Amino acid sequence: MDSPARAKLLAQPPMMHDLAAHAMQHLILAGTALGAALLLGAPMGAICARSGLLRGPLLAAAGIGRTIPSLAVLALMLPLLGVGVPPAIVALALLAIPPILVNVDLGIRAVPAAALDAATGLGMTARQRFARVVAPLALPVALSGVRTAATETIASATLATFIGAGGLGDDIVRGLQTGNDPLLFAAAATVAMLALAVEAGLGTLVSAMEARR
């Protein structure tokens, strides 16, 4: 880093130093939780779409999961897993599973029956049919669920500060408590930009995919 930029950075109020680190923390928190939710939620959605038996209970559970306020889910981790990053990741992952599960199910079930019939009739194995027809056709809808989950996870990760998991919520809370308005506004703006950027980025990806059809 050249010296004028360095001098400028040092001239900022000390709390601002942490902002970049907390933003990184925030992204890691949300990203890890989202990754775990994808790993669990996508297969669960696929099972939902196939199994008449499990579909009802899984969708009902997802519906209830979507309804429970995120602060309640985060707080409930405390007696179970204590404070810090791991319980926050568990809570955020639990919150992100329902929108992913629901949209994967929706996307797979929206694949036209004629396309499935044609795929089988043309000699695709069950695996090929899933990889070449079902998954790509379901992808835009599934991805829009991931987009919802990602935006919600970034928002909920702000509340992770209350169970000691750090992130940009730390700066908002500290700014509010110490009357440090620059810190408060900078942190609020950063987390808002993160959420909007993810929402817009994944939104653009989804529309680009749909436009190709």
Which residues of this protein are in contact with another protein, per CB under 8 A?
63-64, 66-73, 75-76, 78-79, 112-125, 128, 132-133, 136-137, 139, 151, 154-156, 158-159, 162-163, 168-169, 172-173, 175-176, 181, 184-185, 187-189, 191-192, 195-196, 199, 212-213
* Least Å from the CB of residue 17 to another protein: 20
Task: Describe the crossing of helices 15-50 and 52-67 by its angle, rounded to 10 degrees.
Answer: 150
Residue 88 CA to residue 30 CA, distance in Å, equals 9
* Least Å from the CB of residue 198 to another protein: 9
**Would you say 41 or 169 has its CB closer to another protein?**
169
* Least Å from the CB of residue 104 to another protein: 16
* Least Å from the CB of residue 100 to another protein: 18
Nearest Cα neighbor of 105 from 38, 158, 59, 156 is 59
Residue 34 CA to residue 27 CA, distance in Å, equals 10
**Would you say 36 or 78 has its CB closer to another protein?**
78
* Least Å from the CB of residue 187 to another protein: 7
Task: Describe the crossing of helices 70-81 and 85-109 by its angle, rounded to 10 degrees.
Answer: 130
Residue 9 CA to residue 15 CA, distance in Å, equals 11
**Would you say 35 or 112 has its CB closer to another protein?**
112
Residues sharing a CB contact under 8 Å with residue 93, sequence separation 6 or more, in sequence order: 33, 34, 36, 37, 40
CA distances from 162 to 89, 201, 202 (A): 13, 28, 28
